[in-house]
Structure 1
Amino acid sequence: MRSARAARYCATVAARGLALIVLVPVLVYSAVLCLVGVGLLVMPFELRLLRRLADAERTRLGTWAATPATPAGPHARSTLTAMLSEPATSRDLRWAPWMAVAGTLLGSIGAALFVFPAAVLVLICLWWLFPADDPVRPLLDVPVDSWASAAYAGAPQLLLSLLLALVGPPLMARPAAASSRRLLAPSAAAVLAERVAALDRTRTGALRAHGDELRRIERDLHDGTQARLVSLAMQLGLAERALGSNPAGVGPLLTRAREGAEEAMAELRDLLRSVYPPVLADRGLADALSAVVARCPVPATAHLADLGPLPAQVEVAVYFAITEALTNAAKHSHARSASITLARVDDTLRAEITDDGRGGAAEGHGTGLRGMRRRIEAVDGTLRVQSPPGGPTVITLECPCAF
């Protein structure tokens, strides 16, 4: 129900505004104390708290309004100068006074209007507690001093309060949400600059991943297949020399040459699968992942929806990312079970890989997560990792899949 959602948003805005009524004066006082050096120690903590409140508002906007304001994320650095130089901090600081005053007022009115019918109903039912010379008037200037007046005068007032509860919270929530969005969201130029920076970062990551992949293929060919082909040529050369002088010794040489050729072909097949698994072209992403789950050392379950046609580059990126996630769950997290959920929502492919291992996965501890991120970002996707110590680990992938 839209009115209930708006009322919850209003209640949240009111609570957040009350917190900022305390925080804003504290920030001003700390700024004054910066002149004597004391404020330099406490302001970073206060700015982090303000950022958490602002980010919570951005997230809340996404649940009630149609489109959320762009999240600002946590402070990347801890020094006061670095925090103040961030564009998001200036947006947070201009939003805080507005939320402390107007947000508290709008949110309180919206939340109060939603619970107003309950208050009116209680007053009507408890009319007998009020003195006869000063009867209760719940909403209109019509007294309720008997059960008869509760029926003919109280019922219309209750209906009017219900109408206010349906209409009032959205009317209060809309200006609150619009103002917060305008104050917290970055400008169009900032969004464009961030988009260009993200594309440059993903392009660099894609080129680096492509270079790493080429070096891996070259190394595998040089150390594996090429060495076996050299051995095969030597075996055939020995067999050619022994053909005239020792025909009986040709058979074992040819047998070893055949075995070497079979091993070289097996290595080539494995190498080709690591570049583009044939199962993707033959059976599609869902069936390919079903085969991966069946071979996973950790007992795993897959919930795969109908994905429809997908771009080949997205299939490859998601396939290898999920395969790497299951490999990490088996090798590093000591998980007892894992699950995969894969679905397509409009033009976005979303995958979630969960394991019940020990958690603590971080990109700085190895190349697996970095490689996954590079693959996903190369197709303009996003990767999020939630892995608290003790688990569970949840990896979420989202990739655009429109042709």
Structure 2
Amino acid sequence: MRERTRQMWRGGLYLLIGLPSAVATMLVLPLLAVGVMTTAFGGLGLVVFPPMMMGLRWWAEWHRSRAAALLGVPLPPRRTSLPKGLRAQWKQALDRESRRDVLWTLQHVAIGLSAGLLALICVVGPVTTLVSVPLWWLYPEGDPMRVLVGTPVRSWDTALTMGGVQLLLLGALGWWTLPRMSRFHARHCMKALEPSVEDQLTERVDELTESRAGVLDAHGAELRRIERDLHDGTQARLVSIAMRLGVAREALDDDAGTLATLLKEAHEGTEEAMVELRDVIRTMYPPILADRGLEGAIAAVAARAGVPTEAELGELGRLPAAVEAAAYFIVAEALTNAAKHSGATRATVRLSRQGGRLLVEVTDDGIGGVDEGRGTGVVGIRRRAAALDGTVLVQSPAGGPTAITVELPCAS
């Protein structure tokens, strides 16, 4: 009984506060429309509109916190601050959460007004009945007080009976309606401002895509650092050691015996280690990428390919190092396959950027019939693309031609 009474008063207060807020929310969409239209006046809306959307976010979050408190559920935080930069602010002002905020205003006006008016009747009605019914005798004889469905009150018997019935009905209406209506309003408020399952998955994918871009940048920077350290440090020291061993071998007599043999083995072992180290560096991050960039590296690969190759390079912009390395190795592997197995007389390499994806196309006029089941280099190309969440399409009918198209995500 006591808990039910508490719920009734909490629900009534919640809905009564929601009534004027719903009236105020009716002004939101016209104000936002004005903010957009001011873009035509000196671009004022470009600066004004994002803060207006953030103000709507604060307004929606206040209602969301009230709803969560009424329902007794945790409140997952949402971003309530503007990022730096006008472009980032507009991106946030037009994101999914902002669209949910706008749709919430329509729902809040519709539900808040009707639920608030009902709460007003349930709360104010009993108070009005208690105050006005005892004063029935002050009303003129020709226009008496009326209760319930218009019953005139002309005596104390009618006032006490019909007024009491009206009071009980209003109390019962509030007792039964206010807790349910307030929870209904709160649940719909929470639902309107929380992402759907599809939106959650989409936002999660966006987060993973953004974090992957950061990882690729960090990975690329680390690859360049390791390549530079190996090239300038370890390899240089190995070269120095090999030169000294060579000088020592030249200085020894031919009859030095065991010492000469040991020096020879050490010298040859050092040179073999340098060759292996160069291979590791080229496999990790080709030095030509650091020296010439991706465009220059692809041009060099095309120039020294085993089949005459034409390179068509579009405007690529800045790419993560890992994407550059993957594109370089994909082109090199595809041209190697064309030279070894296709019998091609001509090949073409095309690189272009389409939004957040790098498109790599390698075609040749060879005999076609690529069979990945035989361990061709296409398997390695697929693995390199898959490591970056890229896609590979191979078109190689018998008789040719062969076209390998690779898409690599490169948004940073």
What TM-score comes out, normalization by structure 1 length? 0.45
What TM-score comes out, normalization by structure 2 length? 0.44
Larger radius of gyration: 2
